[in-house]
């Protein structure tokens, strides 16, 4: 059977989640960099978002759907549990991250640094200061959660962790996010343990463009 193609930019958190699943399950795959709305992406995703996947004649969009397919179609350690409570907790945390935390941490906080709408291109301090309390609250919630069992969905590594880690990777690069993460002892340990996994090291994104990476 043909190899899996993961299509999307290396800087994208959601593209990285799909790649991490491939790495965790030792699935041979080709990563094809592409930006949102490029023809190859738009041909698969109705709204032009990344990542998209191609496996032979099967095409799929949305990172959670891609991860589910990879988990079911290939052997290797399961990233989506089958035990009912563990499975439900995994789904719960994927939903919380995708519907709330991604909006706070990436679409609002990170974008205020890397894609500011200020006239001179400097970080959008008004937006950063406004979102900082929610950022700290959500990071605190993660810290309290992983303090219980070591992972988001209890005592085992799951797709819930895969889905969160690329977000934390960026959040910790900027002052308010770094301070909030440093305040959580359990979260610090959690991040360091998971960042040491080969799947995360092998999918480390390239540096952001210098203007975007500048925190202040």
Q: What is the pTM of this model?
A: 0.94
The three state secondary structure string of the chain is CCCEEEECCCCCHHHHHHHHHHHHCCCCEEEECCCCCCHHHHCCCCCCCCCEEEECCEEEECHHHHHHHHHHHCCCCCCCCCCHHHHHHHHHHHHHHHHHHHHHHHHHHHHHHHCCCCCCCCCCHHHHHHHHHHHHHHHHHHHHHHHHHCECCECCCCHHHHHHHHHHHHHCCCHHHHHHHHCCHHHHHHHHHHHCCHHHHCCCCCCCCHHHHCCC
Structural domain span for residue 64:
4-73
Question: What CATH code is carried by the domain that includes residue 8?
Answer: 3.40.30.10
Residue at 78 is within a domain:
no
- If asked whether residues 8 and 99 sit together in one domain, one would say no
- If asked whether residues 48 and 92 sit together in one domain, one would say no
**Number of domains making up the chain:** 2
Q: pLDDT per position in the chain (216 positions), as tens?
A: 579 999 999 999 999 999 999 999 999 999 999 999 999 999 999 999 999 999 999 999 999 999 999 999 999 999 999 999 999 999 999 999 999 999 999 999 999 999 999 999 999 999 999 999 999 999 999 999 999 999 999 999 999 999 999 999 999 999 999 999 999 999 999 999 999 999 999 999 998 865 544 443
- If asked whether residues 49 and 105 sit together in one domain, one would say no
pLDDT at 1: 55
């Amino acid at each position: 059977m043909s190899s899996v193609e993961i299509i999307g930019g290396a800087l994208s958190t959601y593209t990285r989640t799909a790649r991490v699943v491939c790495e965790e399950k030792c699935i041979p795959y080709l990563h094809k960099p592409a930006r949102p709305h490029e023809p190859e992406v738009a041909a698969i995703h109705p709204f032009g978002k990344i990542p998209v996947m191609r496996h032979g004649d099967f095409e799929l969009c949305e990172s959670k759907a891609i991860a589910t397919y990879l988990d079911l179609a290939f052997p290797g350690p399961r990233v989506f549990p089958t035990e009912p409570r563990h499975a439900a907790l995994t789904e719960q945390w994927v939903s919380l991250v995708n519907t709330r935390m991604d909006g706070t941490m990436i679409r609002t906080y990170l974008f205020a640094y890397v894609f500011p709408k200020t006239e001179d291109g400097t970080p959008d301090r008004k937006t950063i200061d406004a979102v900082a309390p929610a950022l700290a609250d959500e990071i605190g919630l993660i810290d309290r959660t992983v303090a219980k069992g070591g992972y988001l969905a209890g005592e085992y590594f799951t797709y819930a962790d895969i889905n969160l880690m690329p977000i934390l990777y960026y959040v910790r690069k900027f002052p308010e996010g770094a301070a909030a993460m440093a305040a959580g002892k359990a979260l610090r340990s959690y991040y360091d343990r998971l960042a040491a996994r080969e799947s995360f090291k092998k999918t480390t994104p390239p540096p952001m463009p210098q203007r975007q990476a500048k925190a202040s």
